[in-house]
Homo-oligomer: A and B are copies of this chain.
Amino acid sequence: MGLDPSIVKELIRITDEERVLLSLDERYTYAFDASFGTYLPDVVVFPQSATEIAEIMKLANREQIPVTPRGGGTSLSGGPLPVAGGIVLAMTRMNKLLRIDRDNLIAFVEPGITTAELQREAEKAGLFYPPDPSSSNVSTIGGNLAENSGGPHGLKYGVTKHYVIGLEVVTPQGEIIRTGGMTVKNVTGYDLTSLIVGSEGTLGIITKAVLRLIPKPPARKALMAIFDEIVDSGRAISGILKNGILPAKLEMMDQASIRAVENYQPSGLPLDAAAILLLEVDGHPAAVDEEIRKAAQICRQYAAREVRLAADEAERAELWKARKLVSPAISQVKPTKISEDATVPRSKIPEMLERLRQIREKYQLHLVVFGHAGDGNLHPNIIADSRDRDEMKRVEEAVAEIFKAAVELGGTLSGEHGIGTMKPAFMEMELGSAGLDMMRRIKQAWDPNNILNPFKIFPQPGQTRVVLTE
């Protein structure tokens, strides 16, 4: 194993010695992400410019070495895993916020900046960058773009791709191209920006991005509604949206999530409730006041047994704390957490919840459900122990059934985590062979040597299962 010394020498020539990691322990740090599997790269390189990356891609094509770009490594689907070894391009040193242009409401960034830093800088300028994946303190904008990250704001504000108007990209064969530009309106040729965003690092390496910002909403208010029947919480969601209210966030937690949180850090949540909805509206203060009152009334109308209105910012933060604690809380139950993001049309949420209940019983698993109910993007999480082979086999089957349920209900395998190494086996079920073939044609046309982030998105021949173990 290992790269030919002449190639290492060339990588050092393109960058410098300090930016090429070769030792086993250093490489090991870049062998995993927040999903499953450990794949050791042969070398980790920290590029500092598009030109360096272009040179590396040309070298990689000449020598047939796989290249995997990597941001914060928070992917839940295996995006940055160097499955075939080769070169990991760690983008974290290209982390400058180049400029916030208040006149044009745009930000120019390098890919290695964290999502949270961009959000803070936008806020300082009185502006707002809505996409809010929960890993925002660690995840990079480059990773968010590669995966088209979502988050709670998706319901009202859309997802990452709705805020990307231009890119600088190094193609798989090492050309530097620019896509889109500085204007929201742009129909000059095919929309390569949207094609590259969400392509999970398989079609190009983003080296610069132009992001659209919006004016910061001047006010926001939140409430928590507690339900005895999960189906009532689903009806309340539809009721709110039908009444012309578009909340900034509309999240739900099922009983298992509520209990996990209370067990982890008592927060005054009702242990006997079937479901909790957390809702936030933002905008003009008068609109916010009226909408939060109306939303509370609708929740009560759909049999919420209690509605807690946050009176101020402190209480608002307190309400959201419960939701933020779900992930750490459930991680305490067992060591292995399989976080899914199958997404259904919002009207199908009650049916999806019922299907998830059946799957939990059939496979006798610890399955917790929470997530972005307002846009149909639930997070069924299975808590297991990866050392228990029998349990993991049941997990794999349960996950396959979750995907099947989502697709049968008119939904999709993945709302915001991506396909990566975890879900390729199920692509054809959703897309059909012709649909998948049209995607594959693009990959082949752009990356004829299959150098850039191989083994992602597209199933290998005979691949039929979820990748939970190597």
Which A residues contact B (CB, under 8 angstroms)? 101-106, 126, 147-148, 150, 154-155, 158-159, 161-162, 171, 175-179, 181-192, 194-195, 197-199, 203, 214-216, 218, 238, 241-242, 244-246, 283-284, 286-287, 290-291, 343-347, 372, 375-377, 410-419, 423, 427, 430-432, 434-439, 441-442, 444-446, 457
Query: Is the beta-carbon distance between A185 and B283 smaller than 8 angstroms?
Result: no
Chain B residues, CB < 8 A from A106: 345
Query: Is the beta-carbon distance between A416 and B287 smaller than 8 angstroms?
Result: no
Chain B residues, CB < 8 A from A291: 284
Q: Which residue of B lies closest to A181 (CB)?
A: B412
Query: Is the beta-carbon distance between B103 and A346 smaller than 8 angstroms?
Result: yes
Query: Is the beta-carbon distance between B411 and A191 smaller than 8 angstroms?
Result: no
Query: Is the beta-carbon distance between A185 and B432 smaller than 8 angstroms?
Result: no
Chain B residues, CB < 8 A from A245: 215
Query: Is the beta-carbon distance between B435 and A179 smaller than 8 angstroms?
Result: yes
* Given A189-B436, A194-B194, A347 contacting B216 (CB threshold 8 A): no
Query: Is the beta-carbon distance between A419 and B189 smaller than 8 angstroms?
Result: yes
Chain B residues, CB < 8 A from A345: 101, 103-104, 106, 182-183
Chain B residues, CB < 8 A from A284: 283-284, 286-287, 290-291
Query: Is the beta-carbon distance between A215 and B246 smaller than 8 angstroms?
Result: yes
Q: Which residue of B lies closest to A147 (CB)?
A: B187
Q: Which residue of B lies closest to A202 (CB)?
A: B190
Query: Is the beta-carbon distance between A188 and B419 smaller than 8 angstroms?
Result: yes
Q: Which residue of B lies closest to A176 (CB)?
A: B434
Query: Can you give 21 A-B contacts (C-beta < 8 A)?
Result: A101-B345, A103-B347, A105-B241, A106-B345, A159-B185, A171-B438, A177-B434, A183-B375, A185-B375, A185-B377, A186-B415, A187-B198, A187-B412, A187-B418, A189-B457, A190-B198, A190-B439, A190-B442, A191-B199, A215-B246, A445-B445
Chain B residues, CB < 8 A from A283: 283-284, 287
Q: Which residue of B lies closest to A237 (CB)?
A: B103
Chain B residues, CB < 8 A from A147: 187
Q: Which residue of B lies closest to A416 (CB)?
A: B185
Q: Which residue of B lies closest to A215 (CB)?
A: B244
Query: Is the beta-carbon distance between B215 and A177 smaller than 8 angstroms?
Result: no
Query: Is the beta-carbon distance between B343 and A183 smaller than 8 angstroms?
Result: yes
Q: Residue A192 contacts which of B150, B287, B416, B439 (CB distance < 8 angstroms)? A: B439
What is the CB-to-nearest-CB distance from A419 to chain B, in angstroms, rounded to a whole number?
Answer: 6
14 additional A-B pairs beyond A171-B438, A187-B412, beta carbons within 8 Å, are A102-B242, A103-B241, A104-B376, A147-B187, A175-B434, A177-B431, A178-B435, A188-B419, A190-B195, A190-B442, A191-B194, A192-B438, A216-B244, A283-B287
Chain B residues, CB < 8 A from A197: 191
